[in-house]
Structure 1
Amino acid sequence: MEYQRFVALGDSCTEGLDDLLPDGRYRGWADRVASALDGPGFRYANLGVRGRRLDQMLVEQVPNARALEPDLVVLFGGGNDVMSGATASQLAQRVDDIVRAVTSFAPTVAVFTLSDISHRMPFGWRMRPRIEALNTAVRDAASRYDAVLVDVEADECVHDSRYFGPDRLHLSSLGHRRLAGHLLSTLGIPFDPAWLTPLEGTAASASVLDHWRWLRDQVLPVAYTRTRNKLIGRQPGDGFTPKRPQLAPLRVAR
């Protein structure tokens, strides 16, 4: 099927964090998918905003997506809901609400499960039940509302640190490329098969010093910022705007 109006919804992963272009802009899986879909008449919008939960996307991004009248909507989200401690019932309700809303106006909707990154985080075992609950909700909603399911939970490459950025949470350029490959493969759209070819060799094991630097440079600053923002009533992502709020040809200067 040929798609002409592609809209991406989501959080920092949809925005493209840790997949930097030479000029400092973010690329990300959605831009990579758009490059595979690009052709005469093709237009693309990216409404992703870092830090956003599914319930926030429902009220902030979905109405804008509806107005764009897309023929393909792809949603990547739920990680911030998991990180913020949403319960299994909250996750199920949020997933159902947003998938039901998007499938009500878009002829093709694709949704992702999340890879289990809990082993990469301190006390990550506490997140694992919420990741499992989110993925169950995504699978159920995809079946219920006839959405395309991109099930990446079992991708073994999640254990390779080269697919992740410095914070061990956001995808690296390699990770975004792989995510785009999974989506395009599921949609039956041609792409570079190297995007899904596992990297040669193995990633170097992190030393105790590496773990300490990661804690100092990545974990503690984020924890401090989140705590400060919570005290002043600021939500993650406040002040940021979508990178491509309107449908436009892929190569139009932003």
Structure 2
Amino acid sequence: MGGLFVALGDSFTEGVGDYNPNFPNGVRGWADRVAKQLGKQDPDFRYANLAVRSKRLHQIIADQLEPAIAMEPTLVSFYAGGNDILEFKRSMPELMAEYESAIRQLSETGARLILFTGFEVMLPPVLEPMRRRNWAFNEAVRELSRRYDAVLVDHWAFDRYQDRRMWDTDRLHMSSLGHRYMAARVLEALGVDHTLRLKQPEPLVPAGWRQAVRRERDWLQEWVIPMFGRKFKGVTLGDNLPPRWPEPVRVSRGLKKLARQRSAASAG
């Protein structure tokens, strides 16, 4: 069989929020988990992940599209545009035209294509315009998934993500729990049986108003203000990061083992 899954995108696909020092770039993520499950069914199955955090759509197209197509994948996931939505000056029609051009090229490879909507993340009222841009993005992705016969993973519709434990402390990236749940939903969308165990979290204990106010203050100070500071300076968290799995790896050999071997080789 020997299929090949190539994942393209930004932090969502790189795995930010699912922190694990045993994997490249210190994260694991839903795509690694999906690849592991697919590798259990086919020992020759291979996987590459070209996603890098903070990348805009045009960067993903410039850096990842051609290498992905050259690998001749049988399965491709594509999530891009989330960081562009945060840029109010970015025209949504232009963004989606560029997005469609990318998925058209991926579709022409004959690979099975996976697309995602974006979740309606918990934002304060001052950032309401971002939610409206996200709605427009999601509607366009749904239409394009029908047009190009892509598998749609409708993240927006997953009620489980209303639970704040599904998110990292920055509220923009999924936690380990969120990535594990996403992996299961991707596999289900593909019609693939899996062995991922998803425990139902205990009911949340409502926070008191002092704790809620403190949580909002800490979030603004630790995440929102630094994020806009980086935007002002024109720097991102992914500026000097390489893709996690830039070349196809045979998943059945164990991604953690492969990561150790790669780290040892670079150190030597």
Q: TM-score, normalised by structure 2?
A: 0.85
* Residue in 1 that maps onto 2:31: 30
Change (3 A) 1:131 1:194: same
* Residue in 2 that maps onto 1:150: 153
How far residue 121 of structure 1 moved from its aligned partner, in angstroms, is 4.0
| 1:184 maps to 2:184 | no
Q: Which runs of 4+ in 1 moved over 6 A?
A: none
Cα distance in 1 for residues equivalent to 2:104 and 2:220: 39
Match of 1:207 among 198, 208, 212: 212
Cα distance in 2 for residues equivalent to 1:168 and 1:30: 20
* Greater fraction helix: 2
Structure 1 range deviating more: 236-245 or 12-21: 236-245
Q: Is contact 1:18-1:173 (8 Å) kept? A: yes
SS in 2 for 1:111: strand
1:167-219 deviation digits (Å, cap 9, x = unpaired) = 11111001111111111001011123643x64231264451111111111111
Change (3 A) 1:121 1:172: farther
| AA partner of residue 215 (structure 2) | D
| 1:94 maps to 2:98 | yes
Give the structure with higher Rg (CA): 2
SS in 2 for 1:120: coil
Percentage of identical aligned residues: 38
Cα distance in 2 for residues equivalent to 1:203 and 1:247: 44
- Output the aligned Cα RMSD: 2.0
Cα distance in 2 for residues equivalent to 1:111 and 1:55: 17
Cα distance in 2 for residues equivalent to 1:203 and 1:73: 40
SS in 1 for 2:155: coil
Cα distance in 2 for residues equivalent to 1:198 and 1:101: 39
Change (3 A) 1:145 1:198: same
| AA partner of residue 16 (structure 2) | L
Change (3 A) 1:62 1:184: same
| AA partner of residue 161 (structure 1) | R
SS in 2 for 1:132: helix
Q: Is contact 1:3-1:37 (8 Å) kept? A: no
Q: TM-score, normalised by structure 1?
A: 0.90
The aligned runs of 1:77-92 (5 Å cut-off) are 77-85=80-88, 86-92=90-96
1:137-189 deviation digits (Å, cap 9, x = unpaired) = 11111111111111121111222110010111111001111111111001011
Q: Is contact 1:161-1:203 (8 Å) kept? A: no
How far residue 238 of structure 1 moved from its aligned partner, in angstroms, is 2.5
Change (3 A) 1:76 1:3: farther
Match of 1:116 among 115, 120, 129: 120
SS in 1 for 2:224: helix
SS in 2 for 1:92: helix
Q: How many residues align?
A: 247
How far residue 115 of structure 1 moved from its aligned partner, in angstroms, is 1.0
